[in-house]
Structure 1
């Protein structure tokens, strides 16, 4: 049966509307930074968090006003929450895998000569901690530096599970909850590549102000953000598709944001590095997640699991 032209037009509407809304709202929310003090604005954190909810707003607009499916929560990846065992397993992966990837980036960057590390003495972490304590009048470390490093890891877990989760969900409902399944018609590689470009360029309102890659030309910073979003988006997408839920991807996104700064534990004293080359934001940090994504795709696991 031939589909009428008007109906075919409607089927093509959701994605462009979603992208226009997500991008347009992101620039609108970030506009005060561009009109004011940029990243040094006292409103930066509030603006950045608010911007993270724009993909969900865009997805909600499409689902409720354009697609109007019978099961709207399912269309957004919020349900089902079963089988419970599978969901819990993927939530555990969502929490741990990004942290491990952030940590794996550090020795690779060190071997490549782009991340000056002190993995045994933690001299840089001790230096940073002492400077912070000196600002509040404390002259000596209250605990051994190894204990403070362990507490830093605990803080990462708390941030991943509590502080960062809601804003991360604000992005993931849009990117992986709604968008990714609709890009799977292009195959795994196409879905990973297209979603990576879309997600990476969406960060432009902040990246062009110097966020993540300070001192880097805007075009190169955006290209780097696309690279990061492509490899990590592949990991998040695998969790979303295999679990059948957006929640593991949201937790993974939250864990990534929390663990991205773990480099401070292992950096050498008086050292600096270029985030374009080192840590999870740089090319040396993309090697391990890229290998994970390649293995997942080639093994046929970058696909929705058959329902039980």
Structure 2
């Protein structure tokens, strides 16, 4: 009688294999992404350039593609899966209809959460709302649609001008989506699935923390020039972890990186619509409590509530663990 190989797993039929965490791979990815991020900002830090300088905006644009470069490098030269596009979620793991549905949900959810945050901020007294004359909205509409804004009715919600301005904002959000792709190909396309051997919640938390700390060069420049104080820096890092749960859910649930791209891009470009629409003209903002959009403690609370709903409804249980992690490609060696 021969002894079975010791490295073979004993498991119940249908139980997921326990995969080894690819530490060398992940370390390579993080090192490349962070090194490129600091390299892009090094001239600004050495030259004392502040966030108001055009050079900062240019560096920020280049910098947002550093996770994509790191993801491509680790996938091509270290991981080497059987299919590049599927491994990074560029090709949907399931049906394209499913990925498309989650993409539409992701693009709509972040602006809607911005409305929820504005209402919550009004309830706690962080901002003044104007739900009668919509003075804050009327103040900014001429910047987007001057002809229609001039013909706004004296009272009530200015629907025609608002919808025209919304169209302008949606078109102008395309660059934000392109920049979000540069980040999401790294954070949720590559990193999150490769961390899944830790478990779903640890993978979401670690990937969010890595995402947050990658912002260190920008946060340092903001801090040095008075843009952020220490409390705001800490709050931003927590925001990345909590927002990473929501954005990561889109990646895991859809099997595609595109919903995560749309969620991230919509958050960057559209989540202040609610604040602009509902707040009163000249309403004070608080950088820590609620600066607008999904920022501050109020925005963090709204995102935390969404994460709690996902958890309580079982939406964060990945049923197709191996295929999410490997991108649906060839099986990898299992570990006991």
Give the TM-score taking structure 2 as reference length: 0.79
The answer to whether structure 1 residue 199 and structure 2 residue 207 are counterparts is: no
* Residues paired across the two proteins, number: 295
Deviation at 1:26, TM superposition (A): 1.0
| Alignment-derived partner of residue 285 in structure 1 | 299
Unaligned segments of structure 1, at least 5 residues:
4-8
* C-alpha contact 2:130 2:280 (8 A) present in aligned 1: yes
Summarize the alignment of residues 140-219 of structure 1 with structure 2, pairs less than 5 Å apart. 141-144=149-152, 145-160=158-173, 162-210=174-222, 215-217=227-229, 219=230
Question: Cα deviation per residue 1:129-176 (whole Å; 9 max; x = unaligned)?
Answer: 56x59xxxx89942315433333333343344x222211111001000
Change (3 A) 1:129 1:106: same
Q: Secondary structure at the match of 2:222?
A: coil
- 1 CA distance for matches of 2:315 and 2:32? 31
* C-alpha contact 2:92 2:99 (8 A) present in aligned 1: no
Q: Secondary structure at the match of 1:43?
A: helix
Change (3 A) 1:141 1:166: closer
Summarize the alignment of residues 1-308 of structure 1 with structure 2, pairs less than 5 Å apart. 11-34=22-45, 35-80=47-92, 82-129=94-141, 141-144=149-152, 145-160=158-173, 162-210=174-222, 215-217=227-229, 219-262=230-273, 263-278=275-290, 279=292, 280-304=294-318, 306=320
Change (3 A) 1:177 1:10: closer
* C-alpha contact 1:201 1:226 (8 A) present in aligned 2: yes
- 1 CA distance for matches of 2:51 and 2:258? 30
* C-alpha contact 1:80 1:244 (8 A) present in aligned 2: yes
* C-alpha contact 1:157 1:255 (8 A) present in aligned 2: no
Unaligned segments of structure 2, at least 5 residues:
8-19, 153-157, 329-336
Q: Which has the larger radius of gyration?
A: 2
Which of structure 1's runs of 4+ aligned residues deviate more than 6 A? none
- 2 CA distance for matches of 1:10 and 1:173? 19
Question: Cα deviation per residue 1:249-269 (whole Å; 9 max; x = unaligned)?
Answer: 001111111113322233322
Q: Which moved more, 1:27-36 or 1:163-172?
A: 27-36
* C-alpha contact 1:52 1:171 (8 A) present in aligned 2: yes
Deviation at 1:36, TM superposition (A): 4.6
Q: Which has the higher contact order (CA 8 A, sep 6+)?
A: 2
- 2 CA distance for matches of 1:289 and 1:247? 20
Q: Which moved more, 1:16-25 or 1:78-87?
A: 78-87
Cα RMSD of the aligned pairs, angstroms, is 2.8
* C-alpha contact 1:91 1:247 (8 A) present in aligned 2: yes
| Alignment-derived partner of residue 332 in structure 2 | none
- 1 CA distance for matches of 2:37 and 2:6? 38
Q: Which moved more, 1:253-262 or 1:172-181?
A: 253-262
- 2 CA distance for matches of 1:126 and 1:214? 31
- 2 CA distance for matches of 1:168 and 1:59? 14
- 1 CA distance for matches of 2:78 and 2:164? 47
Q: Which moved more, 1:61-70 or 1:138-147?
A: 138-147
Change (3 A) 1:2 1:52: farther
